[in-house]
Structure 1
Amino acid sequence: MISILSKPFINSCEVNQDSCILIVHFKSKKCGFINIYREQIIFQFSCGWNNIGKGALNIGEVSFNYENGQLLIYKISNHKKILALKCDENVYRIAFDFISGTK
């Protein structure tokens, strides 16, 4: 059965000395990534017709939150939500710890 309500989610993360890479999946397939570097965030995903995104952000211009099982990325200047993806809290903590070390 295929659900038309399926949404992309962060499946896992990989951390190395220079970056934290969040792997985005849609259903059971990898469909994108969010790369968090010391100075910027680059994201790209193509997860079905309605779930396409691509961009780059200065890490000092965004805030990260975790609410209701989702990783939320907001622009600090206007509190605009840039991304909201389902995410396990442990994956969020790993990413947040990496980000905290960059600021």
Structure 2
Amino acid sequence: MTKAERVKIVARGAVQGVGFRPFVYRLASELRLNGWVSNSGQGVFIEIEGACDSLRRFLSRFEKEKPPRAILHSFETSFLDPRGYESFEIRESESHGEKSALILPDIATCADCLRE
């Protein structure tokens, strides 16, 4: 059995209102990675865990296949001990803390965002 690893990603730039969270969800699900994605005032926060080769593919595709309207100014990664996440989820947006994210107007708001 392959040892699980966990990566925390902070994506900054124009990454909200462009379908970024659903993109991350689809990519993580396709690669059978678990964890979560959430918007915050600083950008998009992601924690993913799974097999090392799947995490490498995620990180490679994350930058190359991002939504067309997304503009990544930076993304930081840190490797952490696995937590044992059992699925991948889109979490509610966090509204506390410093506000530095660039927020573009939504092209079309997804059902999850409307419920939020």
- Give the TM-score, by structure 2 length: 0.27
* Greater relative contact order (CA < 8 Å, ≥ 6 in sequence): 2
- Give the TM-score, by structure 1 length: 0.29
Larger fraction in helix: 2
Larger fraction in strand: 1
